[in-house]
Structure 1
């Protein structure tokens, strides 16, 4: 610990110690083309406004 004099007060600061945590390595997730298309919403039904303002599947 280091003691610094700040005006009339003696303030004690703790020195930072290097963290002993090991970095966790994550394996990248391998997604298929079908999974990616599903996430992007490509294979969803499309709707359009019909007569009278009702939505109808296109």
Structure 2
């Protein structure tokens, strides 16, 4: 009787097998100084209002 109950519960499900590969933990990457400068927008073009109210690149 117990065997029939267990068989009915496991229909369509596979048992998980332990993976043969070792799991490697990924190290968090530190952003470089140039990446940080790019994110902050240091190397972007700067604009200033010129005569007539138009924006011009400085």
Match of 1:16 in 2: none
**Alignment pair present for 1:52 and 2:52:** yes
How high is the TM-score relative to the length of structure 1? 0.51
Structure 1, gaps ≥5 residues long: 1-24
RMSD (Å), alpha carbons: 1.5
**Alignment pair present for 1:43 and 2:43:** yes
Q: Which has the higher helix share?
A: 2
Structure 2, gaps ≥5 residues long: 1-24
Q: Which has the higher strand share?
A: 1
Aligned pairs, number: 34
C-alpha separation between the residues in 2 aligned to 1:28 and 1:42?
25
C-alpha separation between the residues in 2 aligned to 1:28 and 1:54?
45
State the shift of 1:26 in Å: 6.4
